């Protein structure tokens, strides 16, 4: 088992980032993670004026996976997510879907008790622990950890949770994998610009897939296979995610027309988030249809 401290973070994913750890495929790693605001807001009386926006969405890492080469797929299984007993939410002017109607910013501290987030005296929401930022170095250049793209990044997909396996493309030797931005709870859309943002730790197993032309990124759960896509335009993100799923089904023996028909009656198109510079969409298909 390997361990990476929350002090070893990056704010952008890049092939130029020096790795903090080298591991072999099959290794288990625990990542300590800061919350999406890097711990800058801890009270509802804190002031936004002092918030350093350059320290948003830190990702712990990166990790160099020995043997990972461009064209491979990195397989990351989320084994365990541990979170504290409270988290923070924010919204306000120029934030999220409704940022144009707010004149002031607001901060809400959310206590967490057992399997519930205590939103108010009368409202308790089940927690669904998930990882918002998870990705590898892009093929070239630098991409902020706050932006999702082909490399993964800030996809904010609530299905990236315990038990899920995330498949990511490898663009540079070693992949340079990093993760962060844990949520105690988040709904599809993340419309106010945050979920319940928490620090914590994530234990994963990393592995490699060779010689399989997968339309990445993807998620595999116990019950579903999912393709993801991110784009500035939501329609384009939908189209890309659907095309990716059809491509995946073709590699599994489905004719293109039957793949499209199957998705139309058994697949679901869902919106992960609409608040980042690029919006993220996933297409879900129950695994039972692949088994048949």
Domain range summary for the chain, segments of one domain joined by +: 2-213
Lowest mean pLDDT among 91-95, 136-140, 241-245, 266-270: 91-95
Residue 111: per-residue pLDDT: 98
> How many Cβ atoms from other residues are within 10 Å of residue 165's Cβ?
17
Residue 292: pLDDT over 80: no
Tell me the average pLDDT of the chain.
Answer: 97
Report the pLDDT value the prediction gives residue 54, as an integer from 0 to 100. Answer: 87
Which of 18, 16, 20 lies closest to 3, judged by CA?
A: 20
| Model confidence band, residue 47 (pLDDT cutoffs 50, 70, 90) | confident
Report the pLDDT value the prediction gives residue 66, as an integer from 0 to 100: 98
Sheet with 218-220: strands ordered across: 2-4, 28-33, 200-209, 73-82, 165-169, 218-220, 224-231, 279-286, 268-273
Rounded (5°) CA angle 274-276-98 = 55
Task: Convert the pLDDT of each residue in 229-263 to its tens digit.
Answer: 999 999 999 999 999 999 999 999 999 999 999 99
Residue partners of 50: CB distance under 8 A and separation at least 6 = 40
Q: Residue 161: pLDDT above 80? A: yes
Whole-angstrom CA distances from 102 to 117, 119, 192 are 25, 20, 11
What mean pLDDT do residues 10-35 have? 98
In the three-class reduction of DSSP (H, G, I as helix; E, B as strand; rest coil), residue 23 is classed as strand
Q: Which residues of 55-77 are buried (b: 16+ CB within 10 A; e: fewer)?
A: ebbbbbbbbbbeebeeebbbbbb
Binned at pLDDT 50, 70 and 90, residue 277 comes out as very high
Spatial distance between the Cα atoms of 13 and 169, rounded to a whole number of angstroms: 13
pLDDT for 167: 98
* Band (49; pLDDT cuts 50, 70, 90): confident
Q: Give one DSSP letter per residue of 68-120, joined into a string.
A: --TT-EEEEEEEEEE--SEEEEEE-TT-STTTTT-SS-EEEEEEEETTEEE-S
Q: Taken in order 31, 70, 160, 56, is the CA torsion positive or negative?
A: positive
Q: Both tokens of residue 24?
A: 């072999």
The mean pLDDT of 157-177, rounded to a whole number, is 98
- Spell out the residues 6+ positions from residue 211 whose beta carbon is closer than 8 angstroms to its own: none
pLDDT in tens, 175-207: 999 999 999 999 999 999 999 999 999 999 999
Q: What is the pTM of this model?
A: 0.97
Closest CA to 56 of 129, 125, 133: 133
Q: Are 13 and 153 in contact (CB under 8 A)?
A: yes
CATH architecture group of domain 2-213: Sandwich (2.60)
Q: How far is Cα 46 from Cα 94, in angstroms, rounded to an integer? A: 18
């Amino acid at each position: 088992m390997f361990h990476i401290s929350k002090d070893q973070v990056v704010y952008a994913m890049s092939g130029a980032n020096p790795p903090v750890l080298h591991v072999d495929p099959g290794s288990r790693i625990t990542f300590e993670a800061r919350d999406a605001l890097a711990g800058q807001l801890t009270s509802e009386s804190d002031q936004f004026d002092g918030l350093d926006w350059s320290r948003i969405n830190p990702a712990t890492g990166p990790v160099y996976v020995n043997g990972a080469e461009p064209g491979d797929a990195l397989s990351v299984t989320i084994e365990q997510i541990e979170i504290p007993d409270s988290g923070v939410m924010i919204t306000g002017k120029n934030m999220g879907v409704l940022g144009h109607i707010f004149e002031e910013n607001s901060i809400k501290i959310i206590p967490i008790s057992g399997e519930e987030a205590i939103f108010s005296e009368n409202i308790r929401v089940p927690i669904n622990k998930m990882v918002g930022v998870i990705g590898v170095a892009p093929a070239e250049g630098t991409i902020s950890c706050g932006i999702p793209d082909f490399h993964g990044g800030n996809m904010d997909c609530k299905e990236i949770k315990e038990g899920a396996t995330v498949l990511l493309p490898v663009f540079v030797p070693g992949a340079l994998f990093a993760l962060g931005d844990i949520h105690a709870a988040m709904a599809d859309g993340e419309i106010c610009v945050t979920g319940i943002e928490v620090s914590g730790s994530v234990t994963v197993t990393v592995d490699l897939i060779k010689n399989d032309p997968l339309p990445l990124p993807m998620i595999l759960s116990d019950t579903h296979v999912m393709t993801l896509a991110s784009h500035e335009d939501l329609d384009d993100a939908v189209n890309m995610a659907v095309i990716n799923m059809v491509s995946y089904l073709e590699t599994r023996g489905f004719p293109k027309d039957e793949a499209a028909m199957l998705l139309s009656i058994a697949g679901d198109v869902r919106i992960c988030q609409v608040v980042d510079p690029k919006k993220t969409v996933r297409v879900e298909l129950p695994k039972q249809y692949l088994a048949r």
